[in-house]
């Protein structure tokens, strides 16, 4: 049985990536391994206290991120299994690109299906492209699923791209 590795960032566009991976796994009778690499933002320690719910208890950022990632991962795995697919999820910490490549080797993946924000210009220089780096560093097939950004997107994960003007169709840009 072939294995498809599906790195997810749990952004609002991740479901599109997972749907593409599920469709491919159904067509190829492949096993899915979903992966999320947990990264505490630079300059903030995992022990910094956060209050996820107003008036709720405070907890360490690392603990909150891990708990949220576990809930999100379980949802992606469940949806794949509901379709009769073999699926598992992995949550790891580490450098994103190296961790993706390491897991791909460990699980014997033949393909990596992952999202791309398709940043250009300054945005690409500042943020880079994880999918591009993975594709350059592996012999595996890397299927890159473009994010579906649009000018009216209200998803929280689209805010940075919207502010930077990172859209696939220049006609969607609103100039001020």
What CATH code is carried by the domain that includes residue 22?
Answer: 3.40.50.620
DSSP string, 82-118: HTT--EEEEEEES-HHHHHHHHHHHHT-SEEEEEE--
Structural domain includes residue 165: no
Structural domain includes residue 37: yes
Structural domain includes residue 100: yes
Q: What is the pLDDT along the chain (176 residues), one digit of tens a residue?
A: 899 999 999 988 899 999 999 999 999 999 999 999 998 777 787 888 888 888 888 888 888 889 999 999 999 999 999 999 999 999 999 999 999 999 999 999 999 999 987 655 554 444 458 999 999 999 999 999 987 655 555 555 554 444 444 443 433 333 33
Structural domain includes residue 47: yes
Structural domain includes residue 40: yes
Q: What is the pTM of this model?
A: 0.80
Q: How many domains does the chain have?
A: 1
- CB neighbourhood size of 118 (10 A): 18
Structural domain includes residue 159: no
Query: What is the residue range of 47's domain?
Result: 3-149
Token pair of 171 as six digits: 């006609």
Distance CA 76, CA 132 (A): 24
Structural domain includes residue 162: no
């Amino acid at each position: 049985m072939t294995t498809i590795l599906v790195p997810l960032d749990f952004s609002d566009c991740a479901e599109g990536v997972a749907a593409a991976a599920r469709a491919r796994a159904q067509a190829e009778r492949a096993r899915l391994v979903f992966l999320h690499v947990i990264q505490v933002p630079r300059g903030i320690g995992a022990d910094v206290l956060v209050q996820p719910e107003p008036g709720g208890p405070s907890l360490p950022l690392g603990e909150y991120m891990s708990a949220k990632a576990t809930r999100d991962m379980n949802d992606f795995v469940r949806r794949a299994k509901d379709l009769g697919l073999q699926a598992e999820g992995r949550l790891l910490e580490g450098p994103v690109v190296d961790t993706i490549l390491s897991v791909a080797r460990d699980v014997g993946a033949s393909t990596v299906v992952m999202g791309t924000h398709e940043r250009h210009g300054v945005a690409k220089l500042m943020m880079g492209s994880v999918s591009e780096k993975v594709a350059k560093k592996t012999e595996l097939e890397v299927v890159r699923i473009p994010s579906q950004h649009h000018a009216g997107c209200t998803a929280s994960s689209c805010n940075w791209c919207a502010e930077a003007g990172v859209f696939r169709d220049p006609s969607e840009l609103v100039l001020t």
